[in-house]
Amino acid sequence: MAVPITEPAVGLGGAGALMFIDKPVGDAAAGFGRPNITVVGGFGTDNGTKGAFAGDMRHWLDDRVKTLVAVMQGSINLDFYGIGRDPLLDRDPKSYNLDTRAAVGQARYRIGDSPAWVGLGYVYATTTVGFDIFPALASLPDFQRESRVGGLLPHFSYDSRNNMFTPTAGNYLEASAGIFAKGLGGDSDFQRVNLTGMHFRPLARDLTLGVMGSSILSYGDVPFYLRPYVALRGAPAMRYQGDYTAQAEAELRWQLWQRFSLLGFAGAGRAWNEGGWSQRAQDVTTGGVGFRYEIARKYGLHMGIDVAWGPDGPAWYVQVGSAWARP
């Protein structure tokens, strides 16, 4: 696969990867018979961001156990706009670099014969942070240092989608957490909680409605680069950060002709800090249009381009599968 990168936060570039996908199970019910997937690749953009990654998702014991393993090394260049609204940084964001090496492993177990899973994982990462900071921000933590995070990843999910790549019916619910501690290999104690829900419904033979809502909550001594951010098409990654975030997005897709489809989407999100819903809160609304082409009928995998508008202007994204992808 060769996929352009158009994320406004890191600039224009591309990712190349070898992806191996098992043959689909033809008679599997929704939420069952997912393929095993292995991927190895690399990426780079015109702002100097670059890296490599590898991952494997595999099913065992007649689809009762699922394992996820991934490793990544990258040098990522971003801009810092503050945690919560900061008028000074809004006008003059500060550039920084994350040189990261990370590995994660997780095992999930199916609950009975249901599409629900429980799991536990572990993640370890080392990150060297280089930050050009000026005196007005001297009260913030020292950003030019190496930090380590190590933590457990408890997970629950319910997945009745009829397709994991481009679903047209079903639900996805997820409650997961990251419990990070010095005793688990890191150098700080903090927690992150993620709640996500999706619903896909066919409104007509060629018309599908999808809705998504999610919230990420962070507590404790969280490294600034792991604070949650509003993740919507049209909002640059890491642009709207806070101690907590909440967002929702809706998408309507019309299967126009054979393998071609058109879609429209709109979303809204908020990032806010501890101490109040409105204290230094940042509100974001986005929307846009896109098209898809079904590149792999056996898997129901669609690929295409979205053009989105948000507070920071227009942006375009190359999408492989759903914009709300979950393994």
pLDDT in the model for residue 244: 95
Return d(Cα 303, Cα 320) in angstroms, integer. Answer: 5
Residue ranges in the chain modelled with pLDDT below 70: 132-144, 275-279
| Sign of the CA dihedral running 186, 282, 156, 201 | negative
pTM score, whole prediction: 0.92
Buried b (16+ CB within 10 A) or exposed e, 102-117: bebbbbbebeeeebbb
pLDDT in the model for residue 138: 44
| Residue 91 buriedness (CB in 10 A; 0-12 / 13-18 / 19+) | exposed
pLDDT in the model for residue 137: 52
pLDDT in the model for residue 144: 53
pLDDT in the model for residue 91: 84
C-alpha 87, offset from chain centre: 27
3-class secondary-structure state, position 27: coil
Dihedral in degrees, nearest 10, Cα atoms 78, 84, 85, 89: -30
Q: Per CATH, which fold does 56-320 belong to?
A: Porin (2.40.160)
User: What Å distances lie between residue 228 and 11, 75, 241, 252, 272, CA to CA?
Assistant: 21, 20, 6, 27, 10
pLDDT in the model for residue 120: 98
